[in-house]
Amino acid sequence: MQSRISRDQIADRFLEAAELLESQGADRFRVRAYRQGAETMRGLGEDPARILERDGLEGLIALPGIGTRLARAIDEMVATGRWIQLERMRGEAEPENLFQTVPGIGATTARAIHDELHVDTLEALEIAAYDGRLEQVPGIGPRRAAAIRASLAAMLARRSRRGPDDHEEPPIAELLEVDARYREKAREGGLRLIAPRRFNPTGEAWLPIFHSERGGWAFTSLYSNTARAHDLGKTDDWVVIYFGRPGGPEHQRTVVTETHGPLEGRRVVRGRETDCMEHYFADG
């Protein structure tokens, strides 16, 4: 264990998450779950880290009002001292620092990974390491990608508790519909704006955030706030979608307007271009 975060600190974070989710228009059941989780943490008779050490993730899941989703969040906070989901809702996420905790990833590589892949969690980075996208990042070839993949597997082995469906993703049509709804609501000005810390020296609240649930998936959508998106003027085009099943790990994909090839002008999910081709040309 790298951190001895207290149960009161975890409860405070759950309450803050509930307040942010509520103000950002999230489903009321999701909001209530975090408030119930906070109550459980306040009344807990021992440190959550001790429960993890003794009983693993199942020990947390068994607590009233916790369940798998909140147990994973507690495990992340105990292991790293951070909770990337809350940082994202605050607009404070700095994934480059997180990636540098992986052996073999320095500051330059961490920034290149974030700018090229638009991922900000270790779980999403692991998927990119397995589906071939990591090898396409400048400075990372097959050998280095294999080493990073091995390091991630070791780091996530206890936390992830992988099941057979942990790498499942929503259908392409679902992701494209979430993307379309987010961009429509953002254009109409109907979404809560957050002030991201990165690339925002004036502290302006400009980044729309949208929480939605459909098809058994929970989604959070935001325009990309990477250095590359700013450099290319794509902060109103590239949409990062975070998704997960209740109790499952959170993953992410980026949707962009394709600029070349047979899908030029269409919305495309990066890393799933073949699926997009089948989606758009299924009848043709």
Range of the domain at 36: 7-81
- E strands, 73-226, are 192-194, 207-214, 217-223
240 in helix, strand or coil? strand
Q: Hey, what are 270's tokens? A: 């990066």
pLDDT digits (tens, 9 = 90+) for 140-195: 988 899 999 888 888 776 554 544 456 689 999 999 999 999 999 999 998 999 99
Shared domain for 190 and 263, answered yes or no, is yes
Shared domain for 180 and 261, answered yes or no, is yes
Q: Count structural domains, the chain.
A: 3
Sign of CA dihedral 29, 121, 76, 53: positive
| All residues at 6 or more sequence positions from 40 whose CB lies less than 8 Å from its CB, including other chains | 63, 64, 65, 66
pLDDT digits (tens, 9 = 90+) for 29-60: 889 999 999 999 999 989 999 999 899 889 99
| 90 within a domain of the structure (yes/no) | no
| 89 within a domain of the structure (yes/no) | no
What is the model's pTM?
0.76
Q: Are 117 and 123 in contact (CB under 8 A)?
A: no
Q: Using the 3D structure, point to which of 81, 116, 146 is the last residue of a domain.
A: 81
Q: Please give the Cα distance from 155 to 243 (Å, whole number).
A: 21
pLDDT digits (tens, 9 = 90+) for 85-121: 898 889 877 788 888 888 889 989 998 898 888 887 8
Element of type H or E holding 88: helix 84-90
| 87 within a domain of the structure (yes/no) | no
For residue 71, give the CATH number of its domain: 1.10.150.110
For residue 153, give the CATH number of its domain: 1.10.150.20
